[in-house]
Structure 1
Amino acid sequence: MTHQNETEAPRIYPTMRCRDTEAMIGWLKEVVGFTERVVYRNGDTVHHAELAYGPSLLMLGQCHDDEYGKLVGDIGGRRTDALYVAVDDPDGLHARVKASGARIEMALHDTDYGSRDFACRDPEGNLWSFGTYRPKADEKP
């Protein structure tokens, strides 16, 4: 078994299907602070996008009725996701998210395990949790 180090590529890549992928990419970049790594388009449709947040990548694509889409969703023809992102400045991000009009689901608070967290819904209803808790796979709790 190998251990991941800072230069090794991640092994887990969250994926999302979106009704309006362009709008989701814009929100993630402008509000949360993701950067665009690559976007593959066919006309107005985003087939595959990769957004980076530090060394982590999120993959996005347009909702459509293919085999994968049938496997992952049945909430209005799509799935909803819940993601946690470790951030350095949850207070600043909370202010930007709130200013964007996103619905705050869990107020900014300090946890009993030392993190500062909040949760919100993105423009498509997915739940995002943000906090300072950042465990490493090769460290014991």
Structure 2
Amino acid sequence: MPGSPVIPGLRYANAPAAIDFLCDAFGFQRHAVYPDEADPTIIHHAQLVFGDGMIMLGSVRDGDAESLITWKTPRELNGVTLCTYLVVPDADAHCLHARNAGAVVVNEPHDNEGYPGRGYEALDPEGNVWSFGTYDPWIDKV
């Protein structure tokens, strides 16, 4: 099976803008995007890839299924709901690119404490925390 079998799923109040941001600032690539035919501001399902990894996302919307699992964005909850880590070859260069594309860097690039590599953390426009670093847990076992 190509890619990772673990695929995080996120909800965004403005999914089209989130897709643009994640691609422009963090380096994701569109794999599949399924907007609503009547209202293209609603994304039913999107798949964005980063190397061998993938995330799925969609628009927050009302409905029976949504209310059963109570999807909320970090802004709605006034807190962090998930932090996703992505391996990058150069944390400092990735951070500079992300910042220049509008990411809010909440933890500047730093050497990891207690294990190898460098990393940083940033927020997307809706408050999701993204962690990027050179530490590759598949290769660099502590």
TM-score bracket relative to the smaller structure = 0.7 to 0.9
Letter matched to residue 105 of structure 2:
I
Going from structure 1 to structure 2, the CA distance change for 1:9 and 1:90 (only over 3 Å counts) comes to closer
Give yes or no for contact 2:25–2:99 (8 Å, CA) kept in 1: no
Q: Deviations over 1:69-118 (max 9, x none)?
A: 55254562798431111111211110012222322111110113111010
TM-score scaled by length of structure 2: 0.82
For residue 3 of structure 1, what is the aligned residue in structure 2?
A: none
Two-structure CA RMSD over aligned residues (Å): 2.4
Q: State the secondary structure of the residue aligned to 2:92.
A: helix
> Runs of at least 4 residues of structure 1 off by over 6 A?
none
Letter matched to residue 34 of structure 1:
F
Give yes or no for contact 2:35–2:44 (8 Å, CA) kept in 1: yes
Unaligned runs of 5+ in 2: none
Going from structure 1 to structure 2, the CA distance change for 1:69 and 1:126 (only over 3 Å counts) comes to farther
For residue 106 of structure 1, what is the aligned residue in structure 2?
A: 107
Letter matched to residue 98 of structure 2:
V
Question: 1:1-141 residue pairs with structure 2 within 5 A?
Answer: 8-42=2-36, 43-44=39-40, 45-66=42-63, 67-68=65-66, 70-74=68-72, 76=76, 80-112=81-113, 113-136=115-138, 141=142
**In 2: Cα distance, 1:69 partner to 1:62 partner:** 14
Q: What is the CA distance between 1:18 and its match in structure 2?
A: 0.3
Going from structure 1 to structure 2, the CA distance change for 1:108 and 1:72 (only over 3 Å counts) comes to farther
Q: Percent identity?
A: 31
Letter matched to residue 31 of structure 1:
A
TM-score scaled by length of structure 1: 0.82
Q: State the secondary structure of the residue aligned to 1:27.
A: helix
**In 2: Cα distance, 1:115 partner to 1:140 partner:** 11
Give yes or no for contact 1:73–1:80 (8 Å, CA) kept in 2: no
**In 2: Cα distance, 1:65 partner to 1:135 partner:** 38
Q: State the secondary structure of the residue aligned to 1:108.
A: strand
Going from structure 1 to structure 2, the CA distance change for 1:70 and 1:26 (only over 3 Å counts) comes to same
Letter matched to residue 15 of structure 2:
T
